[in-house]
Structure 1
Amino acid sequence: KLKRFREQVGLAKELKLPIVVHDREAHREALEILKSEKAGENRGIIHCFSGDEKMAKACMDMGFFISIPGSLTYKDAGPFHEIVKRLPLEFLLVETDAPFLTPVPFRGKRNEPSYVKYTAEKLAEIKGVAFEKVAEVTTQNALKVFRLNLG
């Protein structure tokens, strides 16, 4: 798997496309490959982030955005809240990971894109900012990482 991941990173660099990484239970290995392949040159997203603050900062230092899933809304997510609180909003995205990781108040049901607002609301609460600020900044971050211009 690591060989294939390295190949995918190389292909993304060759095609000048952002890299979307789901590194579940492979944080150290993914980070080593991203660093050695200079993957940050293309920007990218650490999808469904579940690492620690050190991992997040290393990824942000390379130009990656940290995508926050619905698990942020769970009662037992206190340690995750503390990590997210210390990360700059300018490097955060919110996501659903549909059909998985359904946010409260729909936990236990199939996740869907419209539920992303609950994750954004929780992020706003944790960061101590308005929901509108989270919506604005995370939208701009998504446009930036995918090099989209809606104007």
Structure 2
Amino acid sequence: MLIDSHCHLDRLDLEPFDGKLEGALDNARENGVKHMLCVCITLDKFNDVLTIAQQHDDISCSVGVHPLYDGVKDTDIDALIENSKHSEVVAIGETGLDYFYHKDPENHKLQQDSFRKHIRAANEVGLPIIVHTRDAREDTLNILKEENAQKCGGVLHCFTESLEMAEEAMELGFYVSFSGIVTFKNAEELRETCRKIPLDRLLIETDSPYLAPVPHRGKSNQPAFVKNVGQFVADLHGLSYDELCQITAKNYQDLFSKSKI
């Protein structure tokens, strides 16, 4: 079973599908994708994400505020908790820290406060968190530990950091997810990290519409392309494509246990 564990269906480029989301979803299904997790990045768009999940049995969703969006300063823990009660919501996030685009300490503090609220909400409702981290390794790990994120668990999505960071996160019970970046020509260090991630902690994703994998790099990404990520990661681990799909599907179901697959 092939699963796209992280995509933004409300943000896809639908021009190749005559402007219809169903076209993109059908293309994913025709490429073997059996389930998709549509990830929320702003609370004001949560209802759009929820509606997509409610209309399709093979789609789940999350609720959260991405660290790079203005809404991060107004993260409402009560809204996270209340919205997580929908049966389609299987995770909190995405949340986390991104110091690559924002260098000022004042913004870092806003991100950190929001990240903590997400973890607290996840612990309260018993759902895993989806973590975005970039150029913020130490603070990300410290906050996960300080807020007892091992209680809720979660995933470091679209992973691009060091093996050491992955290992510390896995010690907290976290999974590590790889996107199309692992296929990029200049990503050899990331490929070496991917090879060393234990199979029972491994997930794959598209993060579509961003970061399309080779051979689609430069195009707008879509869930169908998780097939390319899966085949590439299977080769890195010396597995057959079917073995990789089976392993990552089980990991997805173990982590996002509220998903109805």
- Same fold at TM > 0.5: yes
Are 1:120 and 2:230 an aligned pair?
yes
Residue of structure 2 equivalent to 1:69? 179
Q: State the distance in 2 between where 1:50 and 1:73 align.
A: 12
Q: State the distance in 1 between where 2:137 and 2:248 align.
A: 23
Alpha-carbon distance change, 149 to 8 in structure 1, aligned in 2, over 3 angstroms: closer
Q: State the distance in 1 between where 2:204 and 2:258 align.
A: 17
Residue of structure 1 equivalent to 2:154? 44
User: Considering only CA atoms, is the larger Rg found in Structure 1 or Structure 2?
Assistant: 2
Q: State the distance in 2 between where 1:68 and 1:98 align.
A: 12
Give percent identity, aligned residues only.
Answer: 37
Return the match for 2:250 from 124, 140, 147: 140
Residue of structure 1 equivalent to 2:208? 98
Query: TM-score, normalised to structure 2's length?
Result: 0.56
3-state SS, counterpart of residue 23 of structure 1: strand
Q: State the distance in 1 between where 2:251 and 2:159 align.
A: 16
**Greater helix percent: which structure?**
1
Aligned length: 151
Q: What do the CA deviations read for 1:55-85 (whole angstroms, capped 9, x no partner)?
A: 0011111111101010111111111111111
Are 1:88 and 2:225 an aligned pair?
no
3-state SS, counterpart of residue 41 of structure 1: coil
Are 1:4 and 2:98 an aligned pair?
no
Q: State the distance in 2 between where 1:94 and 1:115 align.
A: 11
Q: State the distance in 2 between where 1:150 and 1:3 align.
A: 32
Are 1:26 and 2:136 an aligned pair?
yes
Which consecutive aligned stretches of 4+ in structure 1 deviate over 2 angstroms post-superposition? Answer: 148-151
Q: What do the CA deviations read for 1:30-77 (whole angstroms, capped 9, x no partner)?
A: 111001111011120111111100100111111111010101111111
Larger RCO (CA within 8 A; separation ≥ 6): 2
Are 1:129 and 2:232 an aligned pair?
no
Give structure 2 stretches of 5+ with no counterpart: 1-110
Q: State the distance in 1 between where 2:186 and 2:199 align.
A: 22
1:131 counterpart letter in structure 2:
Y
Q: State the distance in 1 between where 2:219 and 2:186 align.
A: 18
